[in-house]
Structures are given as C-alpha cells and as structure tokens.
C-alpha cells in the first residue's frame, strides 16, 4: 500500500514537472553571508606602529578598507625579489600541478555537460555469420540454416532530467571546478608569501652572520690584548683562558647560522623550480629591502570573499548541497527516450539498398518502489555530509579571522620589540666601550669586560632578528588577507562558460 502511494505521488510529480518544463529537487545553494563582526581584534589597533632606526625600523600604518595590490610583494621595492617570484610563478612544479588539476576539473565538467544537455548518438556497424536449426522457425524438417546478417544503425538516447538530477550533478562538478580554481589561487598566494618569508629569513641570517663575525673580530682583538697583558704579567692565565673560551663559544654559533642560510637558499631554489646545485640566485640583505610603510587591511566583511581557503571551503559546501539534490532526485522517476535508424541486409553490398531500412522508437520510465531503505538512507547521508561541510566552513572562517588577528598583533609587537632591541644594542655597545676603556686603565676586572662583551653580542643578533621579523610578518599579513588575487585577470580567464546556469 505504501509503495503504491509513493508510486502515485511520483506520477503526480512527473506530471507537474512535465507541465513546468522540468524542476530541480533538493536545496538551492546560496552564497554564505559574511560574519557580523566589525573588527579583527578586541582591542583597537594603533594608528601606526613604533619607529626604530635601521632598514626595518620604519613606522607602519594600518589602512582600513584599501584594496590589496595584485603584486603585493612589489611593496618591498626589491627588483631581485620581484624577478625571483615571477620565475617561480612560471616554473614552480606545485603551481603547475594545481593548474593541471584545474584543467582536469574543467574537462570533467564539460564531459558531463555534453551528456546532460544533448542526446547521445552512436553509430554501429556489425556483421554476423550464423548457423541455426530449422526448429528455431518451427520447421525442423528443413534441417540447419546458414546465413549472414549485416547491420548499420544510428542509436539515439536521451534521459529527461525532470527532477534535476543531472543539473544537480553538473552543479556539483561546477563547484569542484571553482574549488580547484581557489586551490590554485591559494597555491599562488602561498608560493609568493613563502618566497618573501624565505628571503626575509635569508636576509636575517646574513645579518646575524655579519654581526657574529663582527663580534668575533672584537673578541679576537680583545684576546690579543689579554695575551699581551699576560705576557707582561698584568693578568692571570685564567683571564686568557676565559677570553679564549668566550671566543670559541661565539665561533660555535657561526656554523649553525651558515647551515640555516644554505638550507634557506636550497628552499628558494626549489620554489623557483631549480635544483639546489644550480645556484644563480640573487643574495638578499636587510638593507636592500624596503619595509612597506602602509599596510592595507581589508574590512572583516570582505575577508570571506578574499581568502582562497574560505572560498574553496565554500565550494565544498556547495558541492555537498548539490549531492543532497542528487540523492533526492534518485527517489523520483527517470524517463529515457531512445531511437534507432539503420539498415539490415543478408549481403554487405545490399546493406543500403531499397527495402533494408529499419527503425525503432522507445521510452522507459523507472520509478524506485522498494530498495530496502537504501535511497532514503543515502539522502540522509548526503544531508549529514552537508552538515559536516558547513561545520568545516565555519571552522575555516574562524581560523582565518584568528590568522589575521594574530598577524596584526604580531606586527605591533614586532615594532615595539625592534625599538627595545635597538635601544638595548645601543646601550650595550656603549657599555662595552666604557668597560673596555676601564679595563685598559685597570678600573674594572676582566669579568666585567666579558659580561659587557657578551651582552653586546646578544643584543646585536637579537636586533637583526627583530628587524627581519617585521619583514616576515608584513608578508604574513598579505597572506592572511588573501593577497589580492581577485585583481588578477587570471582569476577571470580560468572560469568556464556554462551551457546553462543554476541557482547558486
């Protein structure tokens, strides 16, 4: 009785869809609204960051609502950096793989669209040689019959998409195309940001190496002075050993820095599609980079449309919504129309002769009546998958806002840290100079000089690290805000032309 009721409801649905010219069951996807927040951080940002001396000490201003430039890395005003990134965008294998994946998704969409919007037409040509018994024709007395049969036929088949199953499948495939497009934009953004970060790290390491070597030079001179004083009997042997220990400890910090520098250069080579042994990369130093002084900060309401990872997550949600429509459409009837036109003949040369034509027309309706609850359970599973995608989308949005908030606070902290480190370095240098003069005059002991020297070494390297952190976190802000990919014509040229549009 239940099956008969469902069958009658299905027939009524078929009639309604035939009158309406087709319908799509299941939910219609709508673009997710932006979160109702007006600020990234609970405490308002300062109008500008603190200013400190040095290449990375310029004050930075947060400019709200300004569009992020497409080639944001050009704000660092480094021609070698710009050339390196352009080479990476051309030769990076990860980016090439993302582009190929996008093309694959586009072709899968086109393949499915061809069968959805147009009937399938196939031509067949066959020939058989058979021997059958006369009993097949009710005449066993004539024995066996040997004959040939040649057939040339054109077959046409088309399934009416009355309940939108095909359109929902196309909607899902289209979402996969958009998902891969945003994955490509994300790979593009990550590559450029990683290169800028690696360049900042290389510049930082070169600065630390240079500072360490300068300190080593000072310590070597100081060791020579102490050795001379020991020869004259002015100091004890323990003072010479203490200075030599200090020198060797400083030397031990140099190999790890040189190792990190080499590994950073190797990573940059891979980013631009080169083998590490090829070389030829430009060298980067902090004084050759310009810290962006105006940092565009997108409005919170715009972030969800700018971050590639958020847009990709939204397309996965869209695809999950389309699958609910597919699962719903599977509960309704499917009508398939078929037709054929051809010729049959017992001799190949007479295949297209007069009187050999054959044709056929057909239609079939398939209505699920009882599948043991399979179709209903699959629809519930599709709804659960949609709920999962919705939760993952919300998590992606929350993490994106956290990312921006963290970077904004890091930029404020970096500026304050650099001011403090610059002041500490200046004070430590002055203290070291005074201690060295006092030691020469015999006013202080050697331990005082060693402490002053050690403090200067630490503050010098810390200042270089703080300076480089501002460059790295400036690049991290552009990454967190989406990198301005929407301004690039590539984002438009990779979109596909669709035979028909559905409600998004």
20 in Cβ contact with 37 (< 8 Å): no
| CA gap 222, 440 in Å, rounded | 10
HEC string of 402-433?
Answer: HHHHHHHHHHHHHHHHHHHHHHHHHHHHHHHH
- Across 73-99, average pLDDT: 94
pTM recorded for the entire structure: 0.84
195 in Cβ contact with 88 (< 8 Å): yes
Q: How many CA atoms lie within 13 A of 122 on its CB side?
A: 8
Question: Which of 292, 264, 215 lies closest to 460, judged by CA?
Answer: 215
Q: How many CA atoms lie within 13 A of 293 on its CB side?
A: 8
| CA gap 97, 379 in Å, rounded | 34
| Least confident range of 15-29, 79-93, 442-456 | 15-29
The per-residue DSSP string of 312-355 comes to: HHHHHHHHHHHHHHHHHHTTS-EEEEEEEEEEEESSGGGTTSTT
Q: What is the pLDDT of residues 46-73, one digit of tens each?
A: 777 878 877 778 888 988 878 888 899 9
* Beta carbons within 10 angstroms of residue 368's beta carbon: 17
pLDDT value for 7? 43
Question: Which of 389, 387, 380, 367 lies closest to 327, judged by CA?
Answer: 380
Q: What Cα–Cα distance (Å) separates residue 148 from each residue in 125, 131, 136, 343, 427?
A: 14, 9, 16, 14, 106
| CA gap 79, 443 in Å, rounded | 52
Model confidence at 262: pLDDT above 50: yes
| CA gap 393, 314 in Å, rounded | 6
**Dihedral pair phi/psi, residue 125, rounded to 5°:** -135, 120
Long-range Cβ contacts of 498-504 (<8 Å, 24+ apart): 498/113, 498/174, 499/113, 499/117, 500/117, 500/167, 502/24, 502/28, 502/167, 502/170, 502/171, 502/174, 503/28, 503/29, 503/30, 504/28, 504/29, 504/30, 504/31, 504/318
Which residue stretches of 53-164 are H helix?
79-91, 93-117
pLDDT value for 357? 87
The vertex-399 CA angle with 393 and 402, nearest 5°, equals 145
Domains and CATH numbers, the chain: 25-117+175-332+375-493 (1.20.1600.10)
pLDDT value for 276? 92
203 in Cβ contact with 268 (< 8 Å): no
**Dihedral pair phi/psi, residue 334, rounded to 5°:** -125, 130
| Least confident range of 141-155, 273-287, 334-348 | 141-155
Q: What is the pLDDT of residues 476-485, one digit of tens each?
A: 999 999 988 8
pLDDT value for 4? 41
How many percent of the chain have pLDDT more than 90? Answer: 50
Model confidence at 318: pLDDT above 50: yes
Residue whose entry in the numeric block shows the structure tokens 């002055």: 430
- Across 410-421, average pLDDT: 91
Which structure tokens are listed for 79? 């021609």
pLDDT value for 268? 95
The per-residue DSSP string of 175-223 comes to: HHHHHHHHHHHHHHHHHHHHHHHHHHHHHHHHHHHHHHHHHHHHHHHHH
Q: pLDDT grade, residue 42 (50/70/90)?
A: confident
Three-state DSSP at 361 gives: strand
Q: pLDDT grade, residue 122 (50/70/90)?
A: very high
Model confidence at 19: pLDDT above 80: no
| Non-local CB neighbours of 69 within 8 Å, separated by 6+ positions | 75, 296, 484, 487
| Mean of the per-residue pLDDT values of the chain | 86
């Amino acid at each position: 009785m239940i099956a008969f009721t469902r069958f009658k409801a299905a027939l009524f649905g078929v009639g309604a869809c035939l009158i309406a010219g087709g319908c799509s069951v299941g939910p219609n996807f709508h673009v997710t609204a932006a979160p109702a927040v007006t600020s990234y951080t609970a405490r308002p940002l300062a109008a500008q960051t603190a200013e400190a001396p040095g290449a990375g000490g310029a004050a930075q201003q947060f400019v709200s609502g300004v569009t992020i430039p497409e080639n944001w890395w050009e704000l660092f005003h480094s021609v070698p950096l710009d050339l390196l990134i352009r080479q990476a965008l051309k030769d990076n294998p990860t980016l090439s793989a993302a582009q190929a994946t996008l093309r694959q998704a586009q072709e899968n969409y086109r393949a499915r669209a061809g069968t959805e919007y147009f009937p399938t037409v196939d031509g067949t040509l066959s020939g058989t040689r058979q021997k059958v018994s006369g009993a097949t024709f009710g005449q066993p007395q004539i024995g066996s019959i040997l004959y040939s049969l040649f057939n040339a036929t054109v077959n046409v088949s088309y399934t009416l998409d009355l309940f939108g199953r095909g359109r929902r499948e196309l909607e899902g495939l289209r979402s996969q195309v958009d998902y891969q497009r945003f994955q490509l934009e994300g790979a593009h953004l990550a590559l450029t940001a990683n290169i800028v970060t690696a360049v900042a790290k290389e510049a930082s390491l070169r600065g630390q190496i240079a500072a360490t070597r300068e300190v080593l030079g000072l310590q070597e001179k100081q060791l020579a002075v102490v050795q001379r004083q020991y020869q004259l009997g002015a100091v004890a042997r323990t003072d010479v050993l203490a200075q030599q220990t200090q020198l060797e400890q400083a030397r031990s910090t140099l190999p790890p820095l040189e190792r990190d520098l080499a590994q950073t250069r190797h990573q940059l080579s891979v980013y631009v599609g080169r083998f590490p042994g090829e070389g030829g990369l430009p060298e980067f130093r902090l004084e050759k980079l310009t810290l962006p002084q105006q940092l565009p900060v997108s409005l919170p309401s715009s972030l969800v449309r700018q971050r590639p990872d958020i847009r990709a997550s939204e397309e996965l949600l869209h695809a999950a919504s389309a699958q609910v429509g597919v699962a719903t459409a599977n509960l309704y009837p499917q009508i398939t129309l078929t037709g054929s036109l051809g010729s049959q003949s017992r001799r190949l040369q007479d295949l297209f002769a007069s009187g050999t034509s054959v044709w056929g027309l057909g239609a079939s309706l398939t209505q699920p009546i009882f599948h043991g609850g399979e179709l209903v359970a699959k629809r519930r599973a599709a709804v659960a998958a949609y709920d999962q995608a919705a939760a993952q989308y919300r998590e992606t949005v929350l993490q994106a806002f956290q990312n921006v908030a963290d970077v904004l606070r890091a930029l404020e902290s970096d500026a304050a840290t650099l001011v403090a480190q610059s002041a500490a370095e200046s004070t430590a240098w002055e203290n070291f100079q005074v201690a060295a003069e006092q030691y020469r005059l015999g006013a202080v002991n050697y331990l005082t000089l060693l402490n002053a020297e050690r403090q200067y070494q630490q503050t010098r390297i810390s200042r270089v690290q703080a300076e480089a952190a501002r460059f790295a976190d400036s690049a991290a802000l552009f990454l967190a805000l989406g990198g301005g990919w929407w301004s690039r014509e590539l984002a438009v040229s990779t979109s596909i032309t669709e035979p028909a549009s559905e409600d998004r």
